[in-house]
Structure 1
């Protein structure tokens, strides 16, 4: 799913942000620099690093054409660079002179948005280099921003936890409290979702917060209701503040922190891969627009480049990643795709004629296949039942008790140990934590009074007993039906 193919270790301090153009990768850091790399071989371009900021650089982004690179800093400025030669084109000072935390180019115009620590927004025209519009969020610092694919609106997130929707004239359209402890980042999928029944178009957005949560939202514009922000679901799995998120360009994947999450647009979300090579917080992540590449930056001063397989298999090939609830939510078309994947395409029309959806598929029996669907061949009935039973069996998720998961890796512990903070961790994970000169608790962030690790034998035995119960042979639904 994801292969680490390169690591960039040129920054001398925390990496704050990374951004792709069609040919380059830009990174910025607390070390006051912006670095630019070629996507051909990940070598640093001759004009890099870019030095112009006098304090930490918080964010960088390429213009839609890729010809301009913007960076913003604690020094209260947003700088425009030529991405071809690295030449400084303009210095845009925040009107309030407040530290600038985030900058974004509008995807359809020449406008550049800069958001600052005092909550101020500046919308610049990058052709005239003049201030086009300005505004302020209701409360807190402005720390996150994302434009819609059509550029008609953008969303900002604040340290007070608010999400605010603005139009392209900087008029506030909607405001909602989204995260209790403050928003950290947000992103809008480049692929709108169409509602065939009502003719509406939704924009899917992800927001992350200090509350360890990622929330998915649907933004809807209607003539009657105006702007509507609808909460969709919360993605769990992070044990610390989520500092970064980004949608892939096809809208099918969401990367967040150290987890890549498969977004089933009409259903729930399942974690499909975990990346754990960074040794400190992941602060930024970005998908490349023209190649299956993902960049992740961290407080460990490195940027990792990952090669992804973004091919989305049909429903039949994703069964192993589906929960039972997701299968129950399958439409008739999803069932048809599953039949084709199982080499049962001859039954597609029959199942459609009988309106078999996911829930009905799971409830099919030998009797219903014989009497209702009129499948006369014993061999074909057996094949269909076998495939359905495989679907039932792998559709039941293993709910791992939370106390069996390492707080650092969020994976099932094999060799749990107790640290001085009283919490249990996977031995290798906490040893790596300590070896990186961190003497604080991964859970409380307080200093560890001792570096001694004590084997937690009782927890290890409890995990072993739980695993045994999961591995016991289970009677199939088909066998139970036949007994009756």
Structure 2
């Protein structure tokens, strides 16, 4: 059982997104400082009954202050989340978002999954998105995703850049992986943009990578049959983990809450959970799919995992966070025989209403949005968007600030050398913008956390950093900061 201070910390973290919503760095520092104080006070050996009473009072005070409903029945999910903080390489900023990252399976079960719009208890959805408009003004979503041009172009890779990702809650660092067998970490702000380091060690193309929650580590997968853990500050490889089947590894990801566990997908259709400390596969941590696994995605608590293979199977797995065991959930075929090249999870579609969703790139000229309908990971198709996608491993993502906008936007690469933005709430003409500048198929896209910059990579090895056009209010704030 988790100690009282861990339960209190998990409760604080659940409300953390309400504190200074425009300053994620402060929210992270707040939780870290709370952790330090709670650890120190725990050494004094307080009466458990007093701690329990404090937890109840703290819960009530936070609910009164921020207007969100958390019942005492949620204490079991608080204990579950607090226990996860004991894992190696765990960063407290993972518990930053009360709507997603800190939402346990129990709180997920509170959703009304019988209807078209599941809603957490205590929150009332509105179609008018009044709260969102109050935060961002009266700009249309098209205006919010207008771009001023290219900020920088990187050309350090000699082959296709298979994935590009900004660091978590960071607007200046971006990393890339390439089929030339290397990864690179770049600094895009302040200007001029520079390549910080090149990570060399893989003997074949790098297929995927992932930042750790604290941004101090990178996890990479390769056609050479290995997964590597890199220390970002030094550029050195900290651990090499061979695929148990000695097969090419096509995708990888950290377990969202416990970064001491990683998940990989290989060409033999095995999704495998590996303990970073030992470098070995976890007992029971294997999930089998019919085809080669090209993409993986977890929900924000790590209790669910989805895999997509080259035969168009979309399979869910129930992930036991404590043991690392995988249990098969539900499977759907997106489009028979067409590879699923990317999966992205999002807990909330808009600020006013919960709608856990999965964004799926499938190579039949479509980007698909699925609604997650139960805690087994079962999905139902909500909407599709047309892009050119037949041969390449195209990736997409949810726009990070979409819950603060009128509408909700996703961005994707395409084989027609363009970057597309789609408003998933529109019934007609969902494309709100299209960026042209690449001379090869666009494989991967990534926003930084405040959406001021967008990175896109292509099959020729180029990475373009796009600068979003500032609206009048943002320009004024930027001028005030300069002064």
Using the size of structure 2 for normalisation, the TM-score is 0.59
- Measure the CA separation in 2 of the matches of 1:60 and 1:134: 20
- Stretches of structure 2 lacking an aligned partner (at least 5 in a row): 1-145, 321-325, 403-407, 474-483
Shift in Å, 1:102: 0.6
Deviations 1:240-275 (A, max 9, x none): 457121111134321111333233448567111112
Aligned match of 1:294: 454
Aligned match of 1:235: 385
Distance 1:297 1:192, change over 3 A: same
- Measure the CA separation in 2 of the matches of 1:272 and 1:192: 17
2:158 aligned with 1:12, yes or no?
A: yes
Which of 211, 215, 218 is the aligned partner of 1:69?
Answer: 218
- Measure the CA separation in 1 of the matches of 2:277 and 2:350: 33
Aligned match of 2:467: 307
Q: Contact 1:259/1:275 (CA < 8 Å) preserved in 2?
A: yes
Shift in Å, 1:276: 1.9
- Measure the CA separation in 2 of the matches of 1:151 and 1:144: 16
Shift in Å, 1:179: 2.3
Distance 1:106 1:292, change over 3 A: farther
Distance 1:36 1:190, change over 3 A: farther
Shift in Å, 1:117: 1.0
- Stretches of structure 1 lacking an aligned partner (at least 5 in a row): 314-484
Shift in Å, 1:191: 2.9
Q: Secondary structure at the match of 1:189?
A: strand
- Measure the CA separation in 1 of the matches of 2:421 and 2:431: 4
- Measure the CA separation in 2 of the matches of 1:246 and 1:291: 12
Aligned match of 2:344: 187
- Measure the CA separation in 2 of the matches of 1:85 and 1:269: 47
Aligned match of 1:173: 329
Aligned match of 1:465: none
Shift in Å, 1:13: 1.3
- Measure the CA separation in 1 of the matches of 2:352 and 2:434: 32
Q: Secondary structure at the match of 2:156?
A: coil
Aligned match of 2:367: 214
Q: Contact 1:187/1:206 (CA < 8 Å) preserved in 2?
A: yes
Shift in Å, 1:12: 1.1
Q: Contact 1:193/1:203 (CA < 8 Å) preserved in 2?
A: no
- Measure the CA separation in 2 of the matches of 1:212 and 1:187: 17
Shift in Å, 1:7: 0.6
Distance 1:308 1:298, change over 3 A: same
Q: Contact 2:182/2:206 (CA < 8 Å) preserved in 1?
A: yes
Q: Secondary structure at the match of 1:11?
A: coil
Q: Secondary structure at the match of 2:202?
A: coil
Shift in Å, 1:127: 4.2
Which of 141, 144, 150 is the aligned partner of 2:292?
Answer: 141
- Once the two structures are superposed, the pairs formed by residues 53-452 of structure 1 within 5 Å of their partners are 53-110=202-259, 111-132=261-282, 133-169=284-320, 170-180=326-336, 181-191=338-348, 201-221=354-374, 226-238=376-388, 240-241=390-391, 243-251=394-402, 252-257=408-413, 258-265=418-425, 270-308=430-468
- Measure the CA separation in 2 of the matches of 1:235 and 1:174: 24
Q: Contact 2:254/2:262 (CA < 8 Å) preserved in 1?
A: yes
Number of corresponding residues? 304
- Measure the CA separation in 2 of the matches of 1:139 and 1:12: 33
Deviations 1:168-215 (A, max 9, x none): 23111111101231212121125356997xxxx531111111211111
Computed over aligned residues only, the root mean square deviation of the Cα atoms, in angstroms, reads 2.5
Q: Secondary structure at the match of 1:279?
A: coil
Q: Secondary structure at the match of 2:430?
A: strand
- Measure the CA separation in 1 of the matches of 2:466 and 2:227: 29
Using the size of structure 1 for normalisation, the TM-score is 0.59
Distance 1:56 1:227, change over 3 A: closer
Deviations 1:137-181 (A, max 9, x none): 331100011121222212110000011111223111111101231
Q: Secondary structure at the match of 2:436?
A: coil
Shift in Å, 1:229: 0.9
